[in-house]
């Protein structure tokens, strides 16, 4: 059963930020990769805490609606922010589906929150930080995709930071420091080699699988 009021409380902030982001796009303040990644980060941070007031089943339902919404906005000239990146990606479509899978697999709220934060923050900030350096960025290529050392280092450090917060403040003893370091390294590698936004699916779902079946 989908409860209307809690679901509205969950999605209204997303609509509000989406409208603000679109206005910033139209004013040419937040376009391209910056706009897409800021939406990616802020949506993810808010969604990570949805289990505080809606059920996992409701999260799955809302994320499926979000998926069809992203498809609709792709073909209707209503929303532009996030759809104007020059590179080929299906990350914006995978994103809600990935969160739906996380909600389906999660046993406890903290598992969902951790996996969504890992999905939202390191990837988004890596692109923003890497792009911030501009011509000073140390670039390298993986297949046909350009990466930056600064962005990759940011991804690794931010992922470690999220795990550290959960382990120290939240008494997170499911994974050892060694296993956290190894997973962060593997996640950073996957973020480099997975193209077209597939890292939005593979990395958080792999993390949830580890947490779910430990």
Give per-residue pLDDT as tens, 97-140: 999 999 999 999 999 999 999 999 998 898 888 776 666 778 87
Rounded to whole angstroms, the Cα distance separating 114 from 144 reads 31
Higher model confidence: residue 154 or residue 21? Answer: 154
Higher model confidence: residue 80 or residue 199? Answer: 199
The pLDDT value recorded for residue 195 is: 79
Q: What is the mean pLDDT of residues 12-27?
A: 81
Q: What is the mean pLDDT of residues 199-204?
A: 93
First to last CA, the chain: 30
Instruction: Specify the residue for token string 């809690």.
Output: 6
Rounded to whole angstroms, the Cα distance separating 22 from 87 reads 20
**Between helices 199-213 and 91-105, what is the axis angle to 10°?**
10
The pLDDT value recorded for residue 171 is: 60
Exposure of 184 by Cβ count < 10 A (0-12 exposed, 13-18 middle, 19+ buried)?
Answer: buried
Higher model confidence: residue 101 or residue 84? Answer: 101
Query: Over 60: is that where the pLDDT of 87 sits?
Result: no
The pLDDT value recorded for residue 122 is: 94
**Is 0.85 topped by the overall pTM?**
yes
Binned at pLDDT 50, 70 and 90, residue 182 comes out as very high
The pLDDT value recorded for residue 86 is: 56
Instruction: Specify the residue for token string 């209204």.
Output: 12
Binned at pLDDT 50, 70 and 90, residue 148 comes out as confident
């Amino acid at each position: 059963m989908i409860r209307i009021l809690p679901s509205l409380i969950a999605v209204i902030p997303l609509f509000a930020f989406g409208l603000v982001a679109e206005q910033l796009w139209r004013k040419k303040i937040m376009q391209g990769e910056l706009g897409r990644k800021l939406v990616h980060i802020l949506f993810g941070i808010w969604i990570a805490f949805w289990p505080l007031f809606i059920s996992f089943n409701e999260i799955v339902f809302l994320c499926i609606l979000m998926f069809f919404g992203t498809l609709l906005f792709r073909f209707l000239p209503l929303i532009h922010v996030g759809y104007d990146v020059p590179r080929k990606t299906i990350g914006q479509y995978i994103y809600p589906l990935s969160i739906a899978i996380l909600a389906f697999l999660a046993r406890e709220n903290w598992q969902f929150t951790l996996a969504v934060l890992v999905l939202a923050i390191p990837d988004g900030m890596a692109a923003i930080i890497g792009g911030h350096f501009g011509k000073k960025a140390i670039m390298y290529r993986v297949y046909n995709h350009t990466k930056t050392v600064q962005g990759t280092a940011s991804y690794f450090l931010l992922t470690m930071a999220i795990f550290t917060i959960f382990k120290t403040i939240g008494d997170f003893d499911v994974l050892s420091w060694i296993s956290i370091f190894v997973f962060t390294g593997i996640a950073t590698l996957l973020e480099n080699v997975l193209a077209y936004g597939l890292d939005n699916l593979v990395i958080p779902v792999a993390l949830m699988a580890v947490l779910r079946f430990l």
